[in-house]
Amino acid sequence: MIINILAGGPEELLPDLSSYQGDETIWVGVDRGVFHLLNRNIIPEKAFGDFDSVSEEELSVIEHQVTGIKRYKPEKDETDMELALNWALEQKPESVHLFGATGGRLDHLLANVQLLLNPIKANNPVNVYLVDEKNIVFLKEAGHYKIKKMASKKYISFVPLTLDVTDLTLEGFKFPLKNRHIYLGSTLCISNELISDYGTFSFSKGILIVIRSND
């Protein structure tokens, strides 16, 4: 089972959502993202939000087409996206994709990137990806990982999320590294590329933001 969550970010930044459809896919809408899904003839199984970003007419459409609506007051401790993600993690899916989570307000973007920490904090092995038209973003804890070349996402960047990342090694990359200590704020590992079909990256301490991008 894969859970796809669509928030209300700018529609022009969305990838082709049809490529993320599947027999075992569950769609979830967040606030205005519910309306975006309905406009694409996708009826979400769940909808989360205070729905302050839709009109009364749009909300009426949502209420007539979606049965699993969880509506909240605007005054709450979690963002609508966090409420949806926490529900998704409880379902123990294979992976979760977050769409409509970039662009627009910077505070929302930064909050959504930090939400990728939630499965790590909960010791939950679910892979969570933040996806838009040009980027796929995910987090990795210390370990050894294999990564595949993607023609649609040529560039790979590694950004420390913790104060430091220890013994970062990149193999199969245009710019390899061997046991480098990378500090928070470093731009050393921005815009790398794979030189073969597969590469590996490993590190012994810290958390990395991995960003796969295209121009």
Domains of the chain as residue ranges with CATH = 2-133 (3.40.50.10240), 137-213 (3.40.50.10240)
The helix or strand, by DSSP H or E, that contains position 176, with its residue range, turns out to be none
- Average pLDDT rounded to a whole number, residues 100-121: 92
The answer, yes or no, to whether residue 167 has pLDDT greater than 80, is: yes
CB-based contacts of 104: which residues, under 8 Å, 6+ apart?
9, 10
Quick check: 146 and 183 in contact, CB under 8 A?
no
Token digits of residue 82: 């966090």
Distances (CA, A) of 97 to 62, 101, 130: 22, 10, 6
pLDDT of residue 72: 85
The answer to whether 48 and 5 are in contact (CB under 8 A) is no
**pTM of the predicted structure, to 2 decimals:** 0.92
Return the structure tokens found at 38: 């309905």
Per-residue pLDDT, 183: 94
Instruction: Give the whole-angstrom CA distance, residue 12 versus residue 177.
Output: 36
What integer pLDDT is reported at residue 113 of this predicted model?
Answer: 95
Give me 16's structure tokens: 């082709």
Say if CB 22 and CB 43 are below 8 A apart. no
pLDDT, tens digit, for every residue of 71-99? 888 778 889 999 999 999 999 999 999 99
105 class by beta-carbon count within 10 Å (0-12 exposed, 13-18 middle, 19+ buried) = exposed
Q: Mean pLDDT for the chain?
A: 93
Q: Measure the CA–CA gap between 151 and 208, rounded to whole angstroms.
A: 22
Asked whether residue 23 carries a pLDDT value surpassing 90, the answer given is no
Residue 31 CB contacts under 8 Å (≥ 6 apart), including other chains = 7, 8, 48, 49, 50, 51, 52, 53, 54, 80
CB atoms within 10 A of CB 115: 21
Structure tokens at 29: 């809408």
